[in-house]
Amino acid sequence: MGQSRAINIGAAVAVGGECAEPGNPDATEAATLSSRPVGQPHRGGGVSAAAGGLNTCSSTCECECEWGAGRAEGSPARLPLVLMALWVMAVGLELAYVLVLGPGPPPLGPVARALQLALAAFQLLNLLGNVGLFLRSDPSIRGVMLAGSGLGQGWAYCYQCQSQVPPRSGHCSACRVCILRRDHHCHLLGRCVGFHNYRPFLCLLLHATGVLLHVSVLLGPALSALLRVHTPLHTAALLLLPWLMLLTGRVSLAQFALAFVTDTCVAGALLCGAGLLFHGMLLLRGQTTWEWARGQRSYDLGPYHNLQEALGPRWALVWFWPFLASPLPGDGITFQTAADVRFIAS
């Protein structure tokens, strides 16, 4: 009976991509029997039931492994990066076309123009630097020695990675590996947001919002000149349904490109701004998205300490330069809780 129960639990976890809860007796026994450090996570479609020494296989897991065999576990997905690069290229080409061959930038004085160029350079350096740090930082458990005095206290067992995982970690079916302090999977960049890349992710949201708003302002005069020559109904249709206007021959390709790029820049700025506000709230409360959805605030140490835990001691300066050294105080495995702080204070 115990073996069949372990097999059923293992198959269910393999399909759902979740880690077994530490309170489960089968998961606890499996975690006790498997105490190896994590190197490369298990890649096969089968799931090892450590408690019973048996193997079971999930067709869903096999399909996922075959589909993602072209990339290593935890590495960024290539398709979202390619699509994002194509969109960035389209925005850059449209902006260059408008500034060089179109109405040009908004009229400014020499000092204002120099400040605008300096702001654009600052935003681009921060944006590209944080993108690079986000993609280069590996938030997974690969190569991490999962051991210590806290092993088993709040830990879970992942049947897909075949390893114990610390609290606040979770398995990502897209990355096919467990992520330390997993927040969510970013589909736009094809990578999970976790302990090691949460800081560049937050800074990326900030500077992406600024860059997209800046581009929208630069494209504003050209778009205003285009909209003034049309009726209000035509203007609304061009802004809301540029593809339909192009397919019906109501606008030229150049007019469509201007409206489409401006629309996506404004929408992207709103999306990044909303994400920044949401994650800023989580940052001050010491929560991940998963914990926020379940109303858990066990790791809320107060706004100041929460900022230091996520951004390091120079939390106020990392927003302005991505390569500023600000080492995180933790290791992504053990976390101080609010109960620990109250116990120490007492």
Catalytically active residues are 186
Quick check: helix, strand or coil at residue 301?
coil
Token readout for 159 is 């049947």
The Cα 240–Cα 18 span in angstroms is: 40
| CB-based contact 226:206 (threshold 8 Å) | no
The Cα 64–Cα 50 span in angstroms is: 22
Query: Helix 198-228 crosses helix 232-240 at what angle (to 10 degrees)?
Result: 150
Quick check: helix, strand or coil at residue 162?
coil
Token readout for 193 is 């947001």
The Cα 17–Cα 20 span in angstroms is: 10
Residues 6+ apart with CB under 8 A from 22: 28, 31, 152, 154, 155, 156, 157
Token readout for 56 is 């079971």
Instruction: Name 48's bridge partners.
Output: 55
